[in-house]
Structure 1
């Protein structure tokens, strides 16, 4: 008989103790007292002793086990470092409470493990992407300098051309580092926004003018969805939101088809102004949408690098908009173009 549960142990122990007591009582009466007692008395005594001893043993076991479980429960509670309102209540069902607490702790640890795995995956991807982004300009600069050292310096036409190319590579590296520094400062909340009342139409018009030449080179026209005569006042940091609009427009120009248009529209949504930037590009597959605002994430990797992008423009957009207490999102489907949109608090 396997005695591996408190109930089985209680039954076995009470049976053995009662049997020994009755047998001892029988031997005492028969050999020493010389008294004959009916067998049914011994049987009744056996049942009575079994029940009484069983109850006593079970209560002692329950007390012992509960004490051990309470100790375990306190250890779990201390490990969780919970607030005072969730301390152990000595009158509650300690087994149920322990089970609930341990299950919660297991779930919490499981969630933390998944989060750590996701962070580790992101870290590996980020380091790999950063190395890849910096490798191209570094190798280019190295190649141009080696060419100059091997005799190119003597040719004035060659050395100037190669020095200019090396300079462009250095400028690209500097742009990547500056963008990463900005993202880092946003993530550590080391950037103080200058929130003021601004006309968002005016901000967009200024960005239009600064990108006009770039758009014309691609035969793309930048337009408002309609003629916004009246100013639309919002609460924002003018320079930072200008950078958001600029990054979104540069992205739209880069991916729009030639001889197409890029639109900006404004919509009044309760206490906010919704700003949309719509292009006529090839659209974005659904699988890319959730990761579009990650650092260095590219839908078309080769095209983006060839056109000089750092892969950080949309990540900067995300951090600036979130620093204003809002979110930036995208609606897109393959072959239908894309609409990037975000809100700002209206004045």
Structure 2
């Protein structure tokens, strides 16, 4: 299993380096975006691979033959995944408030969206307690989901760049290696181009809220 993970990571790194090199050399924009899309796709394959390896779907007794999943099941599976992978010494407080338990066939997209947002919050947390909240409400035409954490917040200078592919504040100060961020770029693409919605973020020290607005007609994926 570790060998498979390393192979996926190597492929993702190669695809991203290709995209970066093509960008710097001003190579055809459509080809450059294709290289970036490959990096994004492999990024998601890695996460789905790890999810499957952990056997979460089996442990939660989710029928793989089902066409979709409820929002509550999506969040419960991810909470189990987070609990199992928390860095040593950290604890998770996870609060879910759903106005209604929505059902969707876009569950793979939503798993990726929420997983990226949750993992970013955990990585940014500077204390032992990681506090996450998910709230769902509705308007006449859309479902609104707020993902809130109580971490250090996002630097105002970074706010305009956090959805840019390749932007990252995650630096290994021992090696100097920068973890090139694709997660929030993927989240934005999935919400805007696959689900026809919007994403916005507000952040102050101690509170960051990502607000996802998804049209009801796009939610179910039928």
TM-score calculated relative to the size of structure 1: 0.42
| 2:122 counterpart SS class | helix
Quote the residue 2:77 is aligned against: 206
| 1:239 counterpart SS class | helix
- How big is the shift at 1:215? 2.8
- How big is the shift at 1:306? 7.9
| 1:254 counterpart SS class | helix
Contact in 2 for aligned 1:202/1:231 (Cα 8 Å): no
Quote the residue 1:297 is aligned against: 167
Higher relative CO (Cα under 8 Å, sequence separation at least 6) belongs to 2
- How big is the shift at 1:216? 6.2
d(CA) in 1 for partners of 2:195 and 2:116? 17
Pair 1:263–1:319, CA change in 2 (3 A):
same
| 1:338 counterpart SS class | strand
Contact in 2 for aligned 1:293/1:314 (Cα 8 Å): yes
- The answer to whether structure 1 residue 272 and structure 2 residue 125 are counterparts is no
What is the alpha-carbon root mean square deviation over aligned residues?
A: 3.6
d(CA) in 1 for partners of 2:39 and 2:177? 26
User: Rg: which structure is higher?
Assistant: 1
Quote the residue 2:188 is aligned against: 318
- How big is the shift at 1:252? 1.0
Pair 1:325–1:300, CA change in 2 (3 A):
same
- The answer to whether structure 1 residue 336 and structure 2 residue 206 are counterparts is yes
- How big is the shift at 1:238? 1.1
Quote the residue 1:32 is aligned against: none
Quote the residue 1:39 is aligned against: none
d(CA) in 2 for partners of 1:169 and 1:320? 25
Pair 1:203–1:243, CA change in 2 (3 A):
same
Pair 1:272–1:217, CA change in 2 (3 A):
farther
Quote the residue 2:37 is aligned against: 184
Please state which structure has a larger fraction of its residues in helix. Answer: 1
- How big is the shift at 1:345? 2.9
Quote the residue 2:92 is aligned against: 221
- How big is the shift at 1:167? 8.7
Work out the number of aligned pairs and report it: 171
Question: Which of 238, 241, 248 pairs up with 2:117?
Answer: 248
| 1:217 counterpart SS class | coil
Pair 1:309–1:267, CA change in 2 (3 A):
farther
Gaps spanning 5+ residues in structure 1: where? 1-163, 188-195
Pair 1:223–1:274, CA change in 2 (3 A):
same
| Matching of residues 52-67 of structure 1 within 5 Å | none
